[in-house]
Amino acid sequence: QPAHLFAPAVAVRLHANNNKDTPLPPETPIGHNPPNGAVIDYWLGAHTQGPVTLSVLDAQGHVLRRFVSDAQAPVRLADRYFAAGWIKPAPQLQATPGMHRFVWDLRLPRPQAIRYSYSIAAVWGRDTPLEPRGPRILPGRYILELQADGSTLRRNLLVTEDPRVHATPAALTQLFDFQQQLGGALARSYAGAGQVQALQRELDVLQPKLAGHAAAQAASRSLRDALAPPHGAALQARYVRANAELAALATDANAADRAPTAAQRAVYAQASAAIAATDAAWTQAQQGPLRALNAALQSARLQPLSVPSAA
C-alpha cells in the first residue's frame, strides 16, 4: 500500500481570535490550543514517488479546495511591517515517506483584493491573519481525497458549528451566499483594474513611436481621455475604490456567524453598481477609442494594442 489516509476527527468552525486590542507582547506566557480546522493525517510508503494532492469536495463532488505538495511558495500579498515571528508560514502538503499532518482552516480560497492588510488579531508564533480571508465552509459533510503515487484515497469529513454559536442554518447559508457574491464582485473589479492598468502601460510604451503619425496621436489622446477623463475619476481608480470597499466588507462579513445586515447589503449594492458603471465605461472605451486607435496604428504600420484577458 503506497499511502493511507486516516479518518479525520470532526472539525469545528471556530473563530480563532477576535481580539481587536493591541496583541499580547511576545514575552507574555500563553497557552496552546489545538489546531483550528480540519486535522488531516496521512501516511506515505517508503517508495512513494511524485507529488501528493489533497482535495476537499462537497457532497455533490465539486472541488472546493486543492492542495499540492509541489506548489510554489505563495506570493506575499502585503508588506510585513513587523517582526517575522508574528507570521506563521502557510501549511505545505508533504510528499516524503512517513506520517504527515496537514491542517485545513475550513476556508475557501481568498477573494481577489487589490490590497490586503494584516489584522491586529495577532498572536506571536501563531499567525497574523491577512484580510480579507476566504469564507468558511458551511457545517455539513465533505469528502477528503488524497492522491499519491497513482492511488486515490477518500475519507468523509464532518464539519460542525461552534456550539457557542446559535446562528440558524438559514442565517449561515445567507452569509455564505453573500460572501460568494462579494467574491464575484471583488474578482470583477480586480480584473477590470488590471486590464485598464495594462492598457495604460501599453499606451506609455507606444507614445514615443507615434512621432509623425498625427492620426494615431489624436486617437491615442482620445483613448487616454476615455481611461482617465479630464473632469472625472479614472477608470482604474474607480475599480480600485470599489474593490477596497468590498474587501473591507468581506473582512467585516467574516467576523461573525450571522446573516448579512441591511447595512452590509447596502454597501455591496452601492459597490456593485459602481463596478457595473465602470464596466460600461470600460467597454465603451474598448469599442470606441481603442478600436479607432488600433485602426490608426494599422494604417501607420504599427503594432495594435491588445487588452489582456480578464481570466
pLDDT at 243: 98
Residue 38 Cα to chain centre, angstroms? 20
Cα atoms in the 13 Å half-sphere on the side-chain side of 265: 8
pLDDT at 165 over 60: yes
Decide if 114 contacts 10 (C-beta within 8 A). no
**Strand 151-161, strand 11-13: pairing:** parallel
Judge residue 220's burial from the number of C-beta atoms within 10 Å of its C-beta, 0-12 exposed, 13-18 middle, 19 or more buried: buried
**Which grid cell sits at 155?**
475519507
Q: Evaluate the omega torsion of the peptide bond into residue 132 and state whether it is cis, within 30 degrees of 0.
A: yes
- Distance between CA atoms of residues 150 and 175, nearest Å: 39
**Strand 52-57, strand 140-148: pairing:** antiparallel
pLDDT tens digit string along 193-231? 999 999 999 999 999 999 999 999 999 999 999 999 988
Domain boundaries, the chain: 3-165, 170-299
Rg (CA), the chain: 24
Residue that the C-alpha cell 480600485 belongs to:
240
pLDDT tens digit string along 138-149? 999 999 999 999
pLDDT at 310: 64
CA angle 161, 165, 168 (to 5 degrees): 75
**Strand 151-161, strand 52-57: pairing:** unpaired
pTM of the model: 0.92
pLDDT at 19: 65
- The CATH number that domain 3-165 falls under is 2.60.40.1930
pLDDT tens digit string along 27-70? 999 888 888 999 999 999 998 888 999 999 999 999 999 999 99
Cα atoms in the 13 Å half-sphere on the side-chain side of 79: 1
pLDDT bucket at 8, cuts 50 / 70 / 90 = very high
Phi, then psi, of 85 in degrees rounded to 5 = -65, -15
The pLDDT of 16-28, averaged and rounded, is: 80
pLDDT at 21 over 80: no
pLDDT bucket at 311, cuts 50 / 70 / 90 = low
Average pLDDT, the chain: 93
pLDDT at 301 over 70: yes
In the chain, the DSSP E strands lie at: 3-5, 11-13, 38-44, 52-57, 63-68, 98-104, 117-118, 130-131, 140-148, 151-161
Decide if 146 contacts 52 (C-beta within 8 A). yes
- What percentage of the chain's residues is helix, strand, coil (to nearest 5)? 35, 20, 45
75 residue type, one letter: V
pLDDT bucket at 274, cuts 50 / 70 / 90 = very high
pLDDT tens digit string along 108-128? 999 999 999 998 888 888 888
3-state secondary structure of 13: strand
Lowest mean pLDDT among 116-120, 179-183, 190-194: 116-120
pLDDT at 309: 77
Decide if 142 contacts 37 (C-beta within 8 A). no
pLDDT at 270: 98
